[in-house]
Structure 1
Amino acid sequence: MKLATFEKTTPIGAVRRIGVVHGDQIIDLNFAYALYLTEQNDPRPYEMAGLIVPPDMIRFFEGGTASKAAATTVVAWVVERLADKVTITGARGETIVHALDEVKLLAPVPEPTNVFATMNSDRHMLNGLEKFGLGLPKAWHDTPAVYRSTNSGVAGSEDPILWPSYTEQLDYELECGIYIGKRGMNIPVERASEYIAAYTIYNDVSARDVLKKEISLYTGPAKGKCFANSNLMGPWAVTPDEVDPSNMRMVARINGEVWSEGNLNDIHWSFPQLIAHISKDEMLRPGDFISGGCIAFGSGLELDRWIQPGDVVELEIEGIGVLRNRVERRRGLDGVE
């Protein structure tokens, strides 16, 4: 399934929901399941739908196999009705199926509790460090290079890449990431795949000149990686049964021109290995995000080519889709909410 979080404009404002993408449409899972239960003569269809298929992605992940099974059942039910040209409207008049161009897609999990970023490709790491006059650390192959990024900078496909006021070298990174589907601590690598809820595309936008200074101070990435809309995810999240992480082609296009091309199998530490490492004496929770790291030649730094305001950055991963964002300069003064 292609799971998405979307916003729909209503007379009372924007409403956030989750759904499954089917062709050029998106099926509202919660409303669809309430209608399905209504037709099954369930006495409390909306209450049960809220418990089993809630309209929030983290809560949906928390529902585990029961929520996924219910979603699979109701999507098949809706698709069959669509094929038969049956009108689908909720018992209370709610819209069940939207055209994709009528809604705004958000990041699959708009507000993850944790964002774990990684540096995980030998070639990408070497390419980048050589630009900074450095070499691979001795511990590189002994332990995964993981750091926490900002969850307040998460944005989705079609959201702007906001050029920070303090950088002259902004860059993209072509990455794949996963969402955790259930709680776990000290997860053995042999069972870690069970904790993967879905895969998505990740653009780890980076201020390279700032990052270079931070590295020289022996500090982890901070303002070189953490700013508004620096963690771009989407356009949706695909469940593990629909992808093959051992062989997923990845492409980055700038204004339609291919700049980067590679495969997810370039990463050194697998997602199960990353999960096992990060969960050591630390609880992972549904909705937590873990990146697989930038693949070799998956950034402008390695090519000495730099994105500019007005550029359209498209990251595509086989089996998932295309994450598309335009680079924009900030306009006006920022306030405090």
Structure 2
Amino acid sequence: MKLRSTPDGLIAHDEQRGRWVRLPGEDDLVAFLAEGQPARARATAALDAPDAETADPATATLPFRPRSIRAFMLWESHLIASSRMLVKHFFPAPMWRAVDAYEKATRRTFPKLKPTQGFYDHPTFYVANHTMVLADGQDMWSPSHTRALDFELELACVLARPLADATPEEALDAVGGWFVLNDWSARDVQADDARHNVFGPVIKAKTFANSIGCDVVTADAFGDWEQATGRVRVDGELWCEGGTAGPAHGLGAMLAYASRGERLDAGDVISTGTMPGCCGIELERWIRPGQTVQLEIDGIGTLTNRLSADATPTTAV
């Protein structure tokens, strides 16, 4: 079931009749997901009611306010390709010449571009800034601390119930719904953080903004998350396509690791990370103010933000 939040409450998509219907008495998407089957049964009844009240999907707002955001990195090819381009564009020239010469001579990946063993031993994530989340259709500002703003197409889920020291099986049962997420990134800052910051490359490079799509598809309706496909368009031009096949870790393992020694709760967001090839740095293409970036995941929907020339950060609508 596909859901949206509006100022007047939740609405659901009636695929059979091609319309959106208001769900009477439902105004909290996370609470709806947490209730599970009884809530979905009420929604199905509302969709089938002869007097169902149709709704305008264009009135959708941010679907929920994230309680927290944990962004994982699951694909080796994305890590290697983006690391290579960070070195090429933002590290001192001699470092890139060494990498380029080695790879051309050996036809192998430069060893330092490969993930460390920890990438394979356990899921890797960082904690994002959940207070700076933009809605679909909202302008993205021009961050004052970067000249290399980038997008990342990511499939994310929201938890519908608490987890603490969960097993992978217990963790999977807590997933409430899936949506599109854009993990905005400052690539020049990321390169500098990677070289000089003791906390690694995801400090000021990653904590200034994320965007969340207005469509949330319930976990029971979405299917296998490892078979998701998506694409990015900039000003209507297709820049890239990708998918989630072949992650280094499964979703249950990710959530179990995130809940180890701590409590996760309903409303916490888990992003599976950038689909390989679906960020500007891997493409060596750079977005700029005035352009419109649209992310899409099949079976869910789109997430669109226009880049503004305004350098003033804004909050979600």
For Structure 1 versus Structure 2, the TM-score category normalised by the shorter chain is: 0.7 to 0.9
1:89-127 Cα shifts (integer Å, max 9, x gaps): xxxxxxx432223x1x22322x21110111211000011
- Would the aligned equivalents of 1:61 and 1:286 in 2 still touch at CA under 8 Å? no
Instruction: Report % sequence identity.
Output: 27
- CA drift of 1:331 comes to 5.9
Gap change, CA 1:6 and 1:139, over 3 Å in 2:
same
One-letter identity of the residue aligned with 1:196: V
CA distance in 2, matches of 1:218, 1:146: 16
1:210-237 Cα shifts (integer Å, max 9, x gaps): 122222213241221122xx21111311
- CA drift of 1:332 comes to 6.8
1:99 partnered with 2:56? yes
Gap change, CA 1:334 and 1:117, over 3 Å in 2:
closer
Gap change, CA 1:100 and 1:25, over 3 Å in 2:
farther
CA distance in 1, matches of 2:289, 2:254: 34
- CA drift of 1:334 comes to 8.2
Q: Aligned ranges for residues 110-149 of structure 1 at < 5 Å? A: 111-133=65-87, 134-135=112-113, 136-149=115-128
1:225 partnered with 2:206? yes
In structure 1, what is the equivalent of residue 105 of structure 2? none
Aligned positions, number: 285
In structure 1, what is the equivalent of residue 272 of structure 2? 292
Gap change, CA 1:251 and 1:334, over 3 Å in 2:
closer
1:176-220 Cα shifts (integer Å, max 9, x gaps): 000111112122112332111111011101111112222221324
In structure 2, what is the equivalent of residue 4 of structure 1? 4
In structure 1, what is the equivalent of residue 11 of structure 2? 19
One-letter identity of the residue aligned with 1:6: T
CA distance in 1, matches of 2:129, 2:313: 22
CA distance in 2, matches of 1:322, 1:205: 16
CA distance in 1, matches of 2:314, 2:62: 23
CA distance in 1, matches of 2:307, 2:170: 40
In structure 2, what is the equivalent of residue 204 of structure 1? 183
In structure 2, what is the equivalent of residue 213 of structure 1? 192
One-letter identity of the residue aligned with 1:235: C
Q: What SS class does the counterpart of residue 155 from structure 1 fall into? A: strand
One-letter identity of the residue aligned with 2:48: A
- CA drift of 1:151 comes to 0.8
In structure 2, what is the equivalent of residue 179 of structure 1? 158
CA distance in 2, matches of 1:124, 1:283: 29
- Would the aligned equivalents of 1:185 and 1:280 in 2 still touch at CA under 8 Å? yes
Gap change, CA 1:303 and 1:276, over 3 Å in 2:
same
- The answer for unaligned runs of 5 or more in structure 2 is 88-111
1:283 partnered with 2:269? no
From 287, 294, 297, the equivalent of 1:317 is: 297
Normalised to the residue count of structure 1, the TM-score between the two structures is 0.78
CA distance in 2, matches of 1:171, 1:326: 13
1:65 partnered with 2:65? no
In structure 1, what is the equivalent of residue 135 of structure 2? 156
The two structures, once aligned, show a CA RMSD in angstroms of 2.2
